[in-house]
Structure 1
Amino acid sequence: MNSTLAHGMRLLVALVLSLSFVSANARSLPDFTELVEEHAPVVVNISTISTSKSPQSQMFQGDMEQIPDFLRHFFGAPAPYQDREKRQERQSMGSGFVVTDDGYILTNNHVIEGADEIYVRFNDRRELKAELIGSDKRSDLAVLKVEADGLPTAKLGKSKDLKVGEWVFAIGSPFGFDYSVTAGIVSAKGRSLPNENYVPFIQTDVAINPGNSGGPLFNMDGEVVGINSQIYTRSGGFMGMSFAIPMDVAMEVVDQLRGQGYVSRGWLGVLIQEVSKELAESFGLDKPHGALVAQVVPGSPAQEAGIQVGDIIVKYEDEKINLSSQLPHFVGRTKVGEDAELTVIRNGDRKTVKVEIGELPNSSDVPVKPAKATVPEANRLGVMVKELDDAVLKDAGLEGGVQVVKVQAGPASNAGIRQGDIIAKINNESFESLEDFED
């Protein structure tokens, strides 16, 4: 009997300990209830009306036929029985948040782009017409203004203080369902996305869907640290990777939009590429890092400062450059006319170059013109190339080089050389003609 009692007591103690462990774990998980209740009033729902031949919303780039009928009105999509060709007005929906008590609101540019009328609906069900103060396509930000006073305002935080693994949550209107709350953690910082060179995105696993765009990303202090902007998806819906514009970057854009109605960014005037393991070895680097200058734009600040093709920029002011994608972030946030100190590696030597940062033009694309020279057979590299004419060399800021017209199996293909690339140096040595290249 004593043995049975002792065994029972051991089981009871083990059960109590197990329940205590579960309870402790439950208490350690974040509680969002008070945070959401306090900060939800700063979040708004945004809808737009614009004239168009096509009535379908551009906010959701998926198959509209796959959206259930009861959700269609949230996307501005017509019901099946309506005449799509004759419908001229469409609505798109997104989110935003109030940044000043007199009615300034921040959202994404793509939420209001092309809109003729913009309406903002608040937590208390009020709906006001908004004026577009300014927008910036490069950062996907827009500032709106409604005529109101005493509005609840968001508490703005410092996105630079975010740490990977930190809890964050979002409030928005996914698929038109107002004030939906989702939570997760910061997955990464400083992410670069295709065609988004000037925003170092915050990556999270917070569930974001169409309609969340422009809404706030909060930290556990109730501060807005980011603006939900994009998702990575193969289905059109959330797949575990969301991207938010850092609040530090956003407020720099907002200040310019409120002050002058447009955004000016710093410009260096170089085309860059990643430093691979093979390139690092050829330049004598101990590991791949920095941004390799592949082209210097004629007349640019970089050319005036003496930056050359083949330079590897490893430091911008006090910021080390590990990935080439970091350089545009640093340059873009530098005020026009300010001096910046660059550390470059040139021919194995470390140099310091001072550059007066210019203003990023509307389009800095360098035109590529066809060359006139004949194309010889493929060489030992496995590439067929053509000589560049004077106009192309001038546009590219080069003294010599060749353009790749075909890549065959071989060393060049293995190294990542592609059709259309311009080869300006071999073993870090410049050459002027096709004959020099073959030699």
Structure 2
Amino acid sequence: MTQTAKTTLIATAAALLAAGVTVTTTASGWTAPAWLHGSKAPVSAPVAGEATPAATAATVTAATTLAAPAVTLPPAQLPNYRAIVQTQGPAVVGITVAGLHKVGNDDDGDDAPVARGRDDDSDPFFRFFRGIPGLRMPQQGPQPFRGQGSGFIISPDGLVLTNAHVVRDAKQVTVKLSDRREFSAKVLGSDPATDIAVLKLDAKNLPTVQLGDPRQVQVGDYVLAIGAPYGFEQTATQGIVSAKGRSLPGDSVVPFIQTDAAVNPGNSGGPLFDAAGRVVGVNAQIYSQSGGFQGLAFSIPVDVALKVKDQIVAHGKVEHARLGVTLQDLSAPLASSFGLGAPDGALVSSVQPDSAAAKAGLKAGDVITAIDGEPVRVAGDVSSRVGLARPGDKLKLELWRDKSRVSETVSLGRADKDTQEASASPQGGSLGLALRPLERQELRGSGLDHGLLIERVTGPAQLAGVQPGDVLLAMNGKPVQSVEQVREALKGKPASVALLVARDGQQIFVPVRLG
């Protein structure tokens, strides 16, 4: 290297270091020559006013020492999908069912999409279809149907897991193995709340899947689905975990695993494998506006399915616990209104009388931040934990109440079948509310014991979604019974407030930004 090149490189390094720039290298990167590190190699005298190579080397060493260590991620390796299919595929089964549908069921035909908890086919959250597309014939009375799904064997003596909706109303259930053997299956039990069913085959020494721990699966991990989409048996599709702990409309119990592995009608009830070939989920739902796969699939964590299986095998039925509260997620404005630093937790918007929550002293405005030491991030965390518990189980709840932390122990109740958790219209300050106290008859008719009727909405409250006809029950967790209380709460000019309003028989918190 010429003297000019050396001098230029030294000056460039010195300039970068003076500007606070530190260069880190990898094994395959550039290595500084010996003369830059102050070795004994002959170096021409430096130009006047420039740093010597030795001084430059000392500066480089010091800067490198102060720099944060480079973070390197281990290279991602594709799982051996071929091995997973060869070793686990024999335990994946196809299921065909036959029976009678009553007119009025939410399945209108073999190819009718079903939204969990709804009868609206326009809702994009569809259950997997029963069967493959066919011709619908409007008829009266019970209609025969044939359907198809998937499942997987979990014990050599013939226990099979699948979705409850696959075998619903089925009079005949046939399970077909990968080696073409067929067995008539008995439905030991099913649980609509989690959409899990357990079948029993009269057989021995059957191949079984390897079960995994869905808690160890992280977003970005590889997954593989095997099933019979549209009747095409032993179809394998791959993808990644897109999200965890998803709560879907009508499904308050299951913390779904979201994936982008292609699943379609007929995959329902089939297994979702992790990269090591262990079952971590049961494919159950898709989000679709067309009826086909659109990149959003949802699986029931296998530990949830196994809890249901244990109850069905032991008792023939499943019992779910009930807390007796209405919950909603926290937003940043709501969290600020309650004095929380982050919008983590489940906000209690109402407590049902004589419920387990009421007996434990929970009240509207409490924020559940942890259960038995496990942090709660969203309302679905509470719903799934409670829904999967047994009646009588005790949970320790960590609460945020009146800007301080408290603990309550609650003994869970039993879930029902239908329960899965002033006359001048003075203005309410800068909220934009026209309020008046409820008349005695209005209180009796609404079933409330206090509240202010919201007659007109403008400004911040209108932007937040408050509606005329709502009843204002509380501000920032404190009940309000007069307009003066509202004005008093606004004297401090808070940046936001949390309004508890009653609407259509429900209580919800509405965050309102005032600043």
Which residue, 405, 412, 422 being the options, matches 1:357? 412
Who is 1:218 aligned against?
Answer: 273
Q: Distance in 2 between matches of 1:210 and 1:407?
A: 49
Q: Distance in 2 between matches of 1:84 and 1:311?
A: 51
Q: Which amino acid aligns with 1:162?
A: V
Who is 1:44 aligned against?
Answer: 93
Q: Deviations over 1:8-61 (max 9, x none)?
A: xxxxxxxxxxxxxxxxxx994333112101111111111111224778315646
Q: Does 1:240 align with 2:295?
A: yes
Aligned-residue identity in percent: 38
Distance 1:429 1:172, change over 3 A: same
Q: Deviations over 1:134-155 (max 9, x none)?
A: 1111111111112112211111
Query: How big is the shift at 1:89?
Result: 2.2
Distance 1:27 1:268, change over 3 A: closer
Who is 2:241 aligned against?
Answer: 186
Distance 1:416 1:209, change over 3 A: same
Distance 1:107 1:307, change over 3 A: same
Q: Distance in 2 between matches of 1:113 and 1:74?
A: 13
Query: How big is the shift at 1:302?
Result: 0.8
Who is 1:275 aligned against?
Answer: 330
Which residue, 80, 98, 110 being the options, matches 1:57? 110
Q: Is the 8 A contact 1:76 1:90 kept in 2?
A: no
Who is 1:389 aligned against?
Answer: 443
Q: Is the 8 A contact 2:452 2:480 kept in 1?
A: no
Q: Distance in 2 between matches of 1:104 and 1:421?
A: 52
Distance 1:438 1:348, change over 3 A: closer
Who is 1:75 aligned against?
Answer: 132
Q: Distance in 2 between matches of 1:148 and 1:28?
A: 38
Who is 1:148 aligned against?
Answer: 203
Distance 1:409 1:93, change over 3 A: farther
Q: Which amino acid aligns with 1:345?
A: W
Who is 2:450 aligned against?
Answer: 400
Q: Distance in 2 between matches of 1:269 and 1:188?
A: 28
SS in 2 for 1:328: helix
Tell me whether 245-254 or 145-154 shows the greater mean CA deviation. 145-154
Query: How big is the shift at 1:77?
Result: 2.2
- Counterparts of 1:88-99 in structure 2 under 5 Å? 88-99=143-154
Query: How big is the shift at 1:104?
Result: 1.4
Q: Is the 8 A contact 2:131 2:265 kept in 1?
A: no
Q: Distance in 1 between matches of 2:160 and 2:360?
A: 41
- Counterparts of 1:107-118 in structure 2 under 5 Å? 107-118=162-173
Distance 1:53 1:319, change over 3 A: closer
Q: Deviations over 1:68-117 (max 9, x none)?
A: xxxx9962724x9xx76499422111101111111111101111112222
Q: Deviations over 1:279-312 (max 9, x none)?
A: 1111111121211111110001111111111111
In the superposition, the TM-score normalised over structure 2's length comes to 0.69
Query: How big is the shift at 1:172?
Result: 0.3
Q: Is the 8 A contact 1:101 1:150 kept in 2?
A: yes
Q: Which amino acid aligns with 1:381?
A: G
SS in 2 for 1:354: strand
Q: Distance in 2 between matches of 1:400 and 1:27?
A: 59
Distance 1:264 1:418, change over 3 A: farther
The unaligned stretches of length 5 or more in structure 1 are 1-25, 65-71, 367-372
- Number of matched residues? 393
Q: Which amino acid aligns with 2:220?
A: G
Q: Which amino acid aligns with 1:358?
A: G
Q: Is the 8 A contact 2:258 2:299 kept in 1?
A: yes
Who is 2:4 aligned against?
Answer: none
Q: Is the 8 A contact 1:401 1:434 kept in 2?
A: no
Q: Distance in 2 between matches of 1:144 and 1:407?
A: 57
Q: Is the 8 A contact 2:132 2:265 kept in 1?
A: no
In the superposition, the TM-score normalised over structure 1's length comes to 0.80
Who is 1:261 aligned against?
Answer: 316
Tell me whether 84-93 or 212-221 shows the greater mean CA deviation. 84-93
Distance 1:182 1:384, change over 3 A: farther
Query: How big is the shift at 1:338?
Result: 2.4
Q: Deviations over 1:320-367 (max 9, x none)?
A: 11212211112223332222111111111211111112222223489x
Q: Distance in 2 between matches of 1:420 and 1:183?
A: 51
Q: Does 1:425 align with 2:474?
A: yes
Q: Distance in 1 between matches of 2:171 and 2:436?
A: 51
Who is 1:8 aligned against?
Answer: none
Q: Is the 8 A contact 2:281 2:301 kept in 1?
A: yes
Q: Is the 8 A contact 2:173 2:186 kept in 1?
A: yes
Tell me whether 421-430 or 323-332 shows the greater mean CA deviation. 421-430
Q: Distance in 2 between matches of 1:45 and 1:438?
A: 65
Which residue, 154, 158, 162 being the options, matches 1:103? 158
Which residue, 438, 457, 460 being the options, matches 1:411? 460
Q: Distance in 2 between matches of 1:113 and 1:193?
A: 21
Q: Which amino acid aligns with 2:110?
A: S
Q: Which amino acid aligns with 2:208?
A: T
Q: Is the 8 A contact 2:437 2:482 kept in 1?
A: no
Tell me whether 266-275 or 194-203 shows the greater mean CA deviation. 266-275
Q: Is the 8 A contact 1:305 1:355 kept in 2?
A: yes
Which residue, 48, 61, 81 being the options, matches 1:32? 81
SS in 2 for 1:309: coil
Q: Distance in 1 between matches of 2:278 and 2:306?
A: 14
Distance 1:90 1:283, change over 3 A: same
Distance 1:89 1:363, change over 3 A: closer
Q: Is the 8 A contact 1:393 1:400 kept in 2?
A: no
Distance 1:217 1:330, change over 3 A: same
The unaligned stretches of length 5 or more in structure 2 are 1-74, 116-120, 122-128, 489-515
Query: How big is the shift at 1:386?
Result: 8.0
Q: Distance in 1 between matches of 2:467 and 2:399?
A: 26
Q: Is the 8 A contact 1:56 1:75 kept in 2?
A: no
Root mean square deviation of aligned Cα? 3.3
